[in-house]
Amino acid sequence: MPGIQCFFVPGPLPGLNDLLGWAKSRGDTHGRKGKRWNSYAEQKRVWEEAIFVVIRNEKISPYPGAIFVNYLWQEPNRKRDPSNIAAAKKLVEDALVRAGILRGDGWRDVAGFTDRFVINRKQPGVRVELVPNEMRKYESTTHSTKKR
């Protein structure tokens, strides 16, 4: 089983406001099978492909079990709020599935994640750290599933 693996996706990546704007927009042309073109689907495909290429170039190995994902979002300024920025994790996780690194992006395969935010004018993007769940040293005392 692979240990901790990292990769960096240059950005800034699209935020929630971008994703919602694309989802609401409809093009005037028709796409495959005569359906109306949706810019969200197109932009998601473009970003997922870009992230997929980074993952392949970094030679990230597949995980057979659940992982924990640490995101370090590097923004050029403070114009976007953190929750807007972090929405791009969906694009990252979908690319991880497409690349065969994860079996899926549901509860079985993604045990959790953290988001941290810094200003980096010279290198905006996101640093992604993949940690096998069994390597994590975390035990919640506030959200226990045990019956008391």
In the chain, domain spans: 5-135
The CATH code that applies to domain 5-135 is 3.30.1330.70
* SS3 letters across the chain: CCCCEEEEEECCCCCHHHHHHHHHCEEEEECHHHCEEEHHHHHHHHHHHHHHHHHHHCCCCCCCCCEEEEEEEEECCCCCCHHHHHCCHHHHHHHHHHCCCCCCCCCCCEEEEEEEEEECCCCCEEEEEEEEHHHCCCCCCCCCCCCC
Q: Per-residue pLDDT tens for 71-120?
A: 999 999 999 999 999 999 999 999 999 999 999 999 999 999 999 999 99
pTM: 0.83
